[in-house]
Amino acid sequence: MRKWIPCELHTHTVNSDGELTLTELAKKARDMGFSCIALTDHNTISGHWERDKAQAESGIDIVRGLEWTTFYGHMVAMGIDKYVDWREIGPKDIDRGIANIHQARGLAGVAHPFCMGSPMCTGCYWSYEIKDWSKVDYIEVWSEPFPSIEAKNIRAFRLWTDLLNQGYRLTAVSGRDWHGGDCGSDPVSVTYLGIEEDAKDMEKAVKEAIAGGRASLTMGPLLLMQAELEKDSSLYALGDIAYIKCRNQKAKVTVNIDYSVRKDKWSLDDADMSIALFGNVGKLCEGKISRERSEISFEVPLENLKWVRAELYGRMKNIDTMIAFTNPIYFEEGA
């Protein structure tokens, strides 16, 4: 059985340029409705010593990490068990750096790839040359408050889509790049990760969920999706690979919306909402949805389809925008 936990995957403390200690940040995250945060200070793991104390006092889980803050881009090493140095990695050999992160049992994630660069933010803009995108575990497609309306995030979302279309199974996450401050009334994005109910090692479970594409991003309700193939009783969820017998088949794709999650931490304008399914062939279908309707199903032809994701559209802060989206379910030829 799987549960979906709300996570903030990009944070900073006083150990780099944040405003709060890890314990203070964890308590604030708890009060904001998060169950887990990742500690990703700039070029240091000095805050890791406080992890046990912060977890005990806040009651939330903390994943150890590090943000490589370089001249050519920022990369998050998620779930590392030791310091991983970036200083010998040049703009054309980031693949070697990614391998070093993996050797430290971490995941390698590209942070805010289109964030404004120097002189506003040294190295924030991604300019490393990645030779093999299959080695990258995830990419931040939403960053900072109210991410869906930011041009840099729209570009990051487009990059992720292009990589999916090229056949890479790269997980999308959000990371607020949270330094401990408040964001006023702006919506906050959340990455919900699907982990096993009986998971004992939460850091391992978080890494497995990200690596497996079991992630759904939202500024409001939780969006989940499953697919059922014709003449096949199996259900496929986010990150799964559905092996199909022939491309003439169809799939029943069902999207569920959970309005109860963190329900006092977000609000939607009173306006029509819609669910759209997208894949490598473009928009597949669309349907209206409301607070009174928590589920919608579509029949999707599988011809030429390699992946499908769900997107929720509506209005927040008087702006029509994407509110949430899922990572994909993948389709491959199989026996």
In the Cβ-directed half-sphere of 209, how many Cα atoms lie within 13 Å? 27
Q: For 180, which DSSP code?
A: S
Judged against a pLDDT cut of 70, whether residue 118 lies above it is answered with: no
pLDDT in the model for residue 245? 84
Judged against a pLDDT cut of 90, whether residue 9 lies above it is answered with: yes
Mean pLDDT, all residues of the chain: 95
Contact status, residue 242 vs residue 229, Cβ threshold 8 Å: yes
* Residue pLDDT, tens place only, 286-301: 999 988 889 999 999 9
CA distance 147 to 142: 5
Assign 82 to helix, strand or coil. Answer: coil
**In the chain, what's the furthest Cα-to-Cα distance?**
58
Q: Which residues lie closer than 8 Å to 263 by C-beta, 6 or more apart?
A: none
Q: Assign residue 317 a region: left if phi > 0, alpha if psi is -120 to 50, beta otherwise?
A: left
Judged against a pLDDT cut of 70, whether residue 120 lies above it is answered with: no
Mean pLDDT of 197-218: 97
Judged against a pLDDT cut of 90, whether residue 170 lies above it is answered with: yes
Contact status, residue 194 vs residue 4, Cβ threshold 8 Å: yes
Q: Which of 180, 35, 10, 21 is nearest to 107 (CA)?
A: 10
Percentage of the chain lying above the pLDDT 90 cut: 89
pLDDT in the model for residue 335? 61
Alpha helices by DSSP H, listed for the chain, are: 22-31, 51-58, 94-103, 151-165, 202-211
Which is more confidently placed, 335 or 217? Answer: 217
pLDDT in the model for residue 31? 97
Percentage of the chain lying above the pLDDT 70 cut: 99
Q: Assign residue 184 a region: left if phi > 0, alpha if psi is -120 to 50, beta otherwise?
A: left
* Residue pLDDT, tens place only, 210-256: 999 999 999 999 999 999 998 787 899 999 999 988 888 899 999 99
Predicted TM-score (pTM) above 0.95: yes
Question: Which tokens hold the place of 256?
Answer: 């569920």
Cα–chain center distance at 111: 11
According to DSSP, the β-strands at 36-39 and 61-69 are parallel
With cut-offs at 50, 70 and 90, classify the pLDDT of residue 7: very high
Assign 31 to helix, strand or coil. Answer: helix
* Residue pLDDT, tens place only, 48-105: 999 999 999 999 999 999 999 999 999 999 999 899 999 999 999 999 999 999 999 9
